[in-house]
């Protein structure tokens, strides 16, 4: 098999990249190790930045998102039983975010790709990227029990944190920046109407809680739990009781309960691999960087990377200049590090590390009260949450 751009992974990064290239008349082949149902049902992110929404719309993949997505003009910070709303459009000159689940973004992009785009092979596991530093990189993969080779002009590794693409960068050229956190998120999906019309981020002495939603009838809720917690060890009733405690207020706000339909634990990690390019291999999305989900940045960063790659390749074709492609890693990393910084800030602002001294509790509360009292501090949060611009 031969193509212009070999894409490994059909998560949001790989699927959107295939769509952008198709729209620009550039051929691609997507290799995805899992089956279609698995990819479409994997519960993950749900907050789309303004820039992500704009890109999906411009790519012709925004029709259902515009119909079913929920536009949110703010979030609520909850601490010491107080409530503070951050008004995004007022602070950013009009930006907002959209609640539309990653599962739905993937379903929309898969349907478009299968209808109009180039080959998208499920159950096709990339085994290795070879000759990344040559004019003709190749992806060795296994599909329907047979090994095959995809010859490409460029390979984009969109294969997530556990993929194979990153391994093709020689160890001597790689630098990894990493931080793990001594807690995770217990996430539940529940058939319950959201208890608030915007996301609620709660800092509590018992730990962090997040009230989020997928639709007007489905809530997505999270609790900070110790690292290594087994989701099955939490009974549904205990989850609701703990959410009630951590989200408590002094007014008559009430948590809506309902049947829990899924629960899982997500570890928290910050990770950046530099560079994001080696020869004709480009890394995009979780293959190159991970953020703790507190800032809702993971999916949005993946979108930023593939937009940068697609624009650079279109620029090369239009002008003959590889300048933007050559600058891919530096361009993406500037945005990645801003998102890393914001996600780290939000995580340390809202979570209680085990054994943290009371001094840190007071500092957290002081930081939260500063955001509530200072338009400058609040604007910083609003700008970062609604998204850093694409360069």
Ligand X SMILES: Cc1cc2nc3c(=O)[nH]c(=O)nc-3n(C[C@H](O)[C@H](O)[C@H](O)COP(=O)(O)OP(=O)(O)OC[C@H]3O[C@@H](n4cnc5c(N)ncnc54)[C@H](O)[C@@H]3O)c2cc1C
Q: Write down the least CB distance from residue 199 to ligand X, Å.
A: 11
The CA distance from 108 to 123, in Å, is 19
Q: Is 61 in the site for ligand X (CB under 6 A)?
A: no
Give dist(CA 271, CA 292) in Å, integer: 9
Stretch that binds ligand X, among 30-38, 57-65, 332-340, 350-358 (CB under 6 A): 30-38
Q: Which of 69, 298, 304, 387 binds ligand X (CB under 6 A)?
A: 298
Single out the residue of 4, 229, 266, 338 in contact with ligand X (rule: CB under 6 A).
Answer: 266
Q: 297 catalytic, yes or no?
A: yes
C-alpha angle 183-185-189 in degrees, rounded to nearest 5: 165
Q: What is the largest CA-CA distance in the chain?
A: 65
Residues that bind ligand X (rule: CB under 6 A) add up to a total of: 32
Active-site residue among 204, 293, 328, 351?
A: 293
| Shortest Cβ 369–ligand X spacing (Å) | 26
β-strand pairing of 146-157 with 281-283:
parallel
Q: Which residue is catalytic, options 100, 154, 181, 201?
A: 201
Name the residue nearer to ligand X (CB basis): 93 or 228: 228
Comparison of 40 and 248: residue with beta carbon closer to ligand X? 40
Phi, psi (deg, nearest 5) at residue 235: -75, 150
- Give yes or no for residue 99 binding ligand X (CB under 6 A): no
- From candidates 72, 138, 280, 297, binder to ligand X by CB under 6 A: 297
Give the residue, chosen from 3, 5, 6, 9, that forms a contact with ligand X under the rule CB under 6 A.
Answer: 9
Whichever of 102 and 364 has its CB closer to ligand X, that residue is 102
Of 11-19, 53-61, 79-87, 229-237, which part binds ligand X (CB under 6 A)?
A: 11-19
How many angstroms separate the CA atoms of 18 and 7, rounded?
8
Half-sphere exposure of 121 (CA within 13 A, CB side): 19
**CA–CA gap between residue 372 and residue 388 (Å, rounded):** 22
Q: Does the protein bind ligand X through residue 6 (CB under 6 A)? A: no
Task: Tell me whether residue 315 is one of the annotated catalytic residues.
Answer: no
Residue of 28, 33, 113, 364 interacting with ligand X (CB under 6 A): 33
Q: Which residues pair with 19 in a beta bridge?
A: none
Residue written as token pair 């611009």:
389
Interacting stretch for ligand X, rule CB under 6 A, among 157-165, 223-231, 237-245, 354-362?
157-165
* Binding residue (CB under 6 A) for ligand X from 5, 7, 10, 384: 10
Q: Are 19 and 118 in contact (CB under 8 A)?
A: no
Q: Which helix (H) or strand (E) holds 363?
A: helix 358-373
d(CA 304, CA 307): 5
With contact defined as beta carbons under 8 Å apart, do 24 and 64 qualify?
no
**Considering 22, 204, 273, 297, which one is annotated as catalytic?**
297
**Contact string 121-150 vs ligand X (x = CB under 6 A):** ----xx------------------------
How far apart are alpha carbons 314 and 23 in whole angstroms?
11
**Catalytic-residue membership of 278:** no
Q: How far is CA 280 from CA 7, 76, 129, in A?
A: 12, 44, 10
Please give the structure tokens belonging to residue 119: 């080959």
Q: Which residues bind ligand X (CB under 6 A)?
A: 8-14, 31-34, 39, 44-46, 102, 125-126, 158-160, 163-164, 266, 285-286, 293, 296-299, 302
Q: Known catalytic residues?
A: 72, 201, 293, 297, 385
């Amino acid at each position: 098999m031969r193509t212009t751009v070999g894409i490994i992974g059909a998560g949001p990064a790989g699927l959107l990249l295939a769509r952008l290239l198709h729209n620009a008349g550039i051929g691609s082949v997507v290799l995805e190790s899992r089956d279609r149902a698995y990819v479409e049902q994997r519960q993950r992110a749900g907050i789309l930045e303004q820039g992500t929404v704009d890109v999906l719309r411009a790519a012709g993949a925004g029709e259902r998102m515009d119909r079913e997505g929920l536009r949110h003009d703010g979030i609520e910070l909850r601490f010491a039983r107080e409530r503070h709303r951050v008004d995004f459009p007022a602070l950013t000159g009009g930006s907002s975010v959209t609640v539309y689940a990653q599962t739905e973004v993937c379903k929309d992009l898969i349907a478009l790709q299968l209808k109009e785009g180039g080959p998208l092979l499920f159950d096709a596991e990339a085994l290795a990227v070879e000759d990344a530093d040559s004019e003709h990189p190749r992806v060795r993969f296994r599909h329907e029990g047979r090994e095959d080779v995809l010859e490409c002009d460029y390979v984009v590794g969109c294969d997530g944190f556990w993929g194979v693409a990153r391994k093709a960068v020689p160890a001597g050229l790689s630098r990894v920046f990493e931080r793990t956190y001594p807690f995770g998120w217990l996430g539940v999906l529940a058939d319950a109407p959201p208890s608030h019309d915007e996301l609620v981020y709660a800092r509590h002495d018992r730990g962090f809680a997040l009230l989020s939603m997928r639709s007007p009838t489905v809530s997505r809720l999270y609790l900070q739990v110790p690292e290594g917690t087994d989701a099955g060890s939490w009974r549904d009733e205990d989850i609701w009781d703990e959410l009630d405690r951590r989200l408590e207020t002094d007014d008559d706000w009430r948590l809506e309960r309902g049947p829990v339909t899924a629960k899982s634990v997500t570890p928290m990690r910050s990770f950046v691999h530099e560079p994001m390019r080696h020869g004709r291999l480009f890394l995009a999305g979780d293959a190159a960087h991970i953020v703790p989900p507190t800032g809702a940045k993971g999916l949005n960063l993946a979108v930023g990377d593939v937009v940068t790659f697609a624009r650079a390749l279109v620029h090369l074709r239009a002008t003959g200049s590889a300048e933007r492609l050559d600058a891919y890693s530096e361009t993406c990393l500037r945005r990645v590090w801003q998102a890393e910084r914001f996600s780290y800030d939000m995580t340390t602002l809202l979570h209680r590390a085990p054994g943290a001294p009371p001094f840190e509790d007071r500092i957290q509360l002081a930081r939260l009260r500063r955001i509530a009292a200072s338009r400058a501090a609040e604007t910083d949060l609003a700008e970062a949450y609604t998204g850093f611009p694409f360069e």
